[in-house]
Structure 1
């Protein structure tokens, strides 16, 4: 396995829609895609991060890796700790219309954080490395990381989703924002 270089904001691959990956009729995905997935997991863990999309490692394909660390999981249904997961050709739909504000960062925009609205609950699907369709319902952190990584596949950065750029800050300055920023976005 290998730690891959992470591209940063400004690299054109982050602003191109990633290509779908052909799903094999049987037998799972090939060794090259399995190697890419393993390298992406290593890269995510090394960063450290909780999600990574292929465009972030300069690969324009629809594959993401993610995890829900125990300290970030709310324990609510759909938001329990999960080790590294791989999703190929993922997609999601919201479950209801409720959105919540939350802080987000990005390995391709190092050192910055911003407040981003996301759906609280989603239903997502995608293929695992064995070519099996995985369908799950997710909430809170789990839902947020899926939405963030799928945005990368569609050439969207979290900055594009921010409603108030006044909440964009360096990580070490985030302490100056009170908890009310997550209720008002200001």
Structure 2
């Protein structure tokens, strides 16, 4: 198992649509293990493969609190079959949008089909935090971020904040013509 770097906004790879794995084999299980270790290290409660730069439809979740025994869950090729009309609001954050939290309104319950760690096709009904977390991570697999569920103004502010932070952390040579124009 290895801790992998987590991609952050504005990295364009976060907007990639992930490909189905088809079969959960040893390579997918190794990816799941790396994702779990990366998520725990961050720390977080969910992680999609695209967040570590792997465009495969794989996600891991563990909703256990710090004083509880870890309870990791593994999902490959997740597909939401139904969404309730009833909604719930949770304050969401994201390892790929660090230190930014906003309330997001999502369906309160979902029915999900997926392949588990043993390549068994399963279906579950999820509600509460699990439903929210699954929807959040599946959005990643579809190239969406939780900020896409916010008002245009809040979304644009967040994007500008992270784009500016990324520009400020790059070496001047890497920024290229934009820097030269500002100096000239």
TM-score of Structure 1 vs Structure 2, range by shorter chain: 0.7 to 0.9
Partner of 1:5: 5
Asked if structure 1 preserves the Cα contact closer than 8 Å seen for 2:18 and 2:50, the reply is: yes
Report how far residue 16 of structure 1 moved: 1.0
Report how far residue 95 of structure 1 moved: 4.2
Partner of 2:71: helix, strand, or coil? strand
Asked if structure 2 preserves the Cα contact closer than 8 Å seen for 1:63 and 1:88, the reply is: yes
Counterpart mapping for 1:140-179 below 5 A? 140-163=128-151, 165=153
Which structure 2 residue ranges, 5 or more long, are not aligned?
159-184
Counterpart CA distance in 2 for 1:107 and 1:49 is 7
Q: TM-score, normalised by structure 2?
A: 0.78
Report how far residue 68 of structure 1 moved: 1.6
Alignment coverage as a number of residue pairs? 156
Which structure 1 residue ranges, 5 or more long, are not aligned?
24-28, 72-80, 171-186
Q: TM-score, normalised by structure 1?
A: 0.77
Partner of 1:49: 44
- Structure 1 residues 102 and 60, CA gap change in structure 2 (3 angstroms): same
* Equivalent residue for 1:131, pick from 107, 119, 138: 119
More helix by share: 2
Counterpart mapping for 1:49-68 below 5 A? 49-68=44-63
- What is the Cα-based RMSD across aligned positions, in Å? 2.3
Asked if structure 2 preserves the Cα contact closer than 8 Å seen for 1:7 and 1:58, the reply is: yes
Asked if structure 2 preserves the Cα contact closer than 8 Å seen for 1:9 and 1:108, the reply is: yes
Partner of 1:176: none
Does residue 1:103 correspond to 2:98, yes or no?
no
Partner of 2:72: helix, strand, or coil? strand
Asked if structure 2 preserves the Cα contact closer than 8 Å seen for 1:113 and 1:168, the reply is: no
